Structure 1
Amino acid sequence: MPSPSIIRVIDLETTGNAPPTHGVCEVGWQDVALGEDGRWELHGEGGSRLVNPGRPIPPVTMAVHHIRDEDVADAPWWHDVARPILDPWPRRVALAAHRASFEEQFCTPALTHGAEWICTWKCALRLWPDSPGFSNQLLRYWRRPQGLVHERGLPAHRAFPDAYVTAHHLRDMLNEASVAQLIQWSNEPGLLPRVRYGPDRGKEWREIDNESLYAFLSDRDPDIRFTAETELARRRGGGEIGPATAQELLL
């Protein structure tokens, strides 16, 4: 029997935001597979591994995930556990994470065998722009994904529960849009449905005037610049901002 198409969701708990100053202290994963009926579903049990980050865990991050130095003192090093998890056999179609740019800092191409990534945060901006927010947990409670076992997705901010919740978002995204489309969106800056700050905060981009829009074109945030450029192109007749039609998504 041929192996099914599988995408592996990854979640990391770390000592901080930027390697090599910071290191991984836990990795979790949950697979999503394409079924014979053409629908994507969660696949397998997933799992997690504690990792020795090779440095003390600061109290500020310990307070988020509650992993202590003594919990990881005897755990294996990241380079000893990463490859079997990030590049298993048979190979996954892609890896995925919520705000994947964070995981990609630690899951380098050498460890992933150059795998493509899907960012469920960027894809949620495109597919579910009406959500009041786009964090992993807010999407969980706003969307209430079918089949998500509440207790299995807890505690939040631990590697497996977070990967498990993200996998439900990914499953539903894959049943709305193609893998290629999700990867394309993930390789672009985020397309924000609403203005983040200033006097127009909370408005849809099409609602703000041209003067305000032009001011955002030089913003330091690449997501804001990209969204402003996309809205400007729409006003000039270069296309629509926001989610495409269902037919376009599946091409």
Structure 2
Amino acid sequence: MQKIRVVDFETTGFPEDAVRGICEVGFTDLTADWSISPTTAFLVNPGHPIPPQTRAVHHISDADVAGAPSPDAAAVALMAGMDEIDVFAAHNSKFEQAFFAGGGRRWICTYQCAKHLFPDAPGHSNQVLRYWLGIDEEMEDTERAMPPHRAGPDTYVTALILGRLLQLANVDELVRLTTAPVVLRDVTFGKHRGQKWKDLPWDYLNWVATKSDLGVDEKHTARHYLEGR
């Protein structure tokens, strides 16, 4: 029976950095009936020092990871028990996939899916959705979700968010939405911040669509409203 493995990594840098690696892994499975399994989390030795700017996020030190498993061993652990039909998920899965490809398994990005399916949310970060959706009410033990910005607790919160998404769309649809651009509702930047995309003037929409260096969702949204005029 299919399961979804929700993963999260704490790292020593961002995907675009020359030196970056995993220093903590967490995962929580949603089993075939979408019940939530116990969370697994363990430290990883990235093979290089953890810089202060990333340590400030997760507070993992070089001393903490001394003697911890290697990134290769972590990848083996992440694949353990994963059948061909199983799926990986993460909140902003592009980040996790830059460190771990998932052995050809499909991925669900709960961040991107939430932008599609929860357009009224005040934000789509893991913790904003946690409180906006009232996720704490579903938790048997809220301490399991603490502290934020550690791999294990974050996968537990994401697994609960994924459970809400699965009430609105099946696995195949969530996989599709993961790579589908979003039609945004509110402008969150620049001189039109706070306005609705549908109300923006034609020349500004055209600039976003054809000349700006904004993201895929912004360009897609601009084209969507240009085509409707």
TM-score normalised by structure 1 residue count: 0.83
Identify which of 119, 126, 129 aligns with 1:136: 126
Alignment partner, residue 229 of structure 1: 223
Alignment partner, residue 144 of structure 2: 152
Q: CA deviation at 1:41?
A: 2.9
Written as runs of structure 1 = structure 2, the 5 A alignment for 1:53-202 is: 53-86=46-79, 88-91=81-84, 93-108=86-101, 112-145=102-135, 146-148=137-139, 149-202=141-194
Matched letter for residue 117 of structure 1:
W
Q: d(CA) in 1 for partners of 2:7 and 2:126?
A: 13
Partner of 1:62: helix, strand, or coil? helix
Q: d(CA) in 1 for partners of 2:111 and 2:226?
A: 23
Structure 1 pair 96–15 and aligned structure 2 pair: CA distance change class (3 A): same
The number of residues matched between the two structures is: 224
Unaligned runs of 5+ in 2: none
Q: d(CA) in 2 for partners of 1:27 and 1:191?
A: 33
Unaligned runs of 5+ in 1: 237-251
Alignment partner, residue 204 of structure 1: 196
Matched letter for residue 50 of structure 2:
I
Identify which of 39, 42, 53 aligns with 1:49: 42
Q: CA deviation at 1:139?
A: 0.7
Q: CA deviation at 1:20?
A: 5.7
1:200-234 Cα offsets, whole Å, 9 max, x none, are 2122221222222112113222221122223334x
Partner of 2:35: helix, strand, or coil? strand
Partner of 2:192: helix, strand, or coil? coil
Q: CA deviation at 1:92?
A: 5.3
Q: d(CA) in 2 for partners of 1:30 and 1:154?
A: 14
Partner of 2:152: helix, strand, or coil? helix
1:119-162 Cα offsets, whole Å, 9 max, x none, are 11111111111111111001111111241232110000000000
TM-score normalised by structure 2 residue count: 0.91
Identity %: 41
Q: d(CA) in 2 for partners of 1:190 and 1:79?
A: 35
Contact 1:96/1:118 (CA < 8 Å) preserved in 2? yes
Q: CA deviation at 1:95?
A: 0.6
Q: d(CA) in 1 for partners of 2:85 and 2:26?
A: 16
